[in-house]
């Protein structure tokens, strides 16, 4: 069996297995595809990987991925600095942008998870406090008037939102949580009962 496979091919298959959602079989298929049909693509992927790992760090203010010390979103003066949206990951920033949000962000890069050793320190909550207080080096200038908690609607996300709520209240800043309920286009009979009871509790007056 081993004889049939050059060592550098085994190494490539092994390395591909480290990608999330890629198992042994897919890794093999991908390797064969690259070797047979797309060697240029493989070389540019290698370059892109090295390049991204080298250049991309965290924004000093919002902790989002950034090549510069402070990211474009934080520096932009076209965005509403009085709104601060707190999300778990950079992917959530994307989702919020697509939804039309135009304020600033703070990216936790995870959620509270004591069992995995992820506490307030790891989520940069001290940095968040400094941001809200308007410490000179955060560039926030203390003009945040509303903090929007947009952590995921999971157990951990809710716990994290609750914890951050306690911090923000100290600064007499308004705290809101994004609404949970029936998704647009969702049919009641297919919605889980927890979501539905949430939607019921959060009902609003018909204008």
Residues that bind a second copy (CB under 8 A): 1, 3-9, 11-12, 14-16, 18-21, 26, 28-36, 38-39, 41-53, 55-56, 64-67, 71-73, 76, 89-91, 93-94, 97-98, 109
Q: How far is the CB of 11 from a second copy (least distance, A)?
A: 5
Q: How far is the CB of 137 from a second copy (least distance, A)?
A: 22
The Cα–Cα gap between 180 and 17 comes to: 36
Q: Which of 121, 197 has the CB closer to a second copy?
A: 121
- Give 184's contacts (C-beta < 8 A, 6+ positions apart): none
- Give 4's contacts (C-beta < 8 A, 6+ positions apart): none
Q: Which of 98, 188 has the CB closer to a second copy?
A: 98
Q: Which of 6, 202 has the CB closer to a second copy?
A: 6
The Cα–Cα gap between 2 and 4 comes to: 5
Q: How far is the CB of 203 from a second copy (least distance, A)?
A: 33
Strands 80-87 and 146-149: parallel
Q: How far is the CB of 195 from a second copy (least distance, A)?
A: 23
Q: Which of 10, 176 has the CB closer to a second copy?
A: 10
How big is the chain by its Cα radius of gyration, in Å? 22
* Beta carbons of 146 and 83 less than 8 angstroms apart: yes
The Cα–Cα gap between 92 and 98 comes to: 10
Q: Which of 28, 195 has the CB closer to a second copy?
A: 28
Q: How far is the CB of 101 from a second copy (least distance, A)?
A: 11
What are the φ/ψ torsions at residue 103 (nearest 5 degrees)? -105, -160
The Cα–Cα gap between 98 and 131 comes to: 25
Q: Which of 1, 179 has the CB closer to a second copy?
A: 1
Q: How far is the CB of 184 from a second copy (least distance, A)?
A: 20
């Amino acid at each position: 069996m081993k004889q049939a496979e050059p060592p550098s091919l085994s190494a490539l298959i092994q390395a591909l297995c480290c990608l999330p959602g890629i198992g042994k079989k897919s890794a093999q298929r991908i390797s064969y595809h690259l070797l047979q049909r797309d060697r240029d693509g493989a070389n540019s992927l290698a370059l892109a990987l090295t390049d991204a790992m080298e250049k991309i760090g965290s924004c000093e203010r919002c902790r989002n991925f950034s090549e510069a010390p402070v990211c474009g979103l934080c520096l932009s003066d076209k965005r509403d600095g009085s709104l601060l949206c707190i999300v778990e990951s950079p992917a959530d920033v994307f989702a919020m942008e697509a939804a039309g949000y135009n304020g600033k962000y703070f990216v936790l890069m995870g959620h509270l998870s004591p069992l995995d050793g992820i506490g307030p320190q790891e989520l940069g909550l001290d940095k968040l406090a400094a941001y809200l207080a308007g410490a000179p080096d955060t560039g926030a200038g203390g003009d945040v008037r509303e903090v929007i908690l947009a952590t995921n609607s999971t157990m951990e996300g809710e716990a994290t939102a609750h914890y951050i709520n306690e911090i923000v209240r100290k600064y007499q800043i308004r705290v809101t949580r994004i609404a949970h309920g029936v998704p647009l286009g969702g049919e009641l009979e297919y919605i889980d009962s927890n979501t539905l009871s949430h939607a019921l509790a959060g009902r609003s007056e018909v204008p």
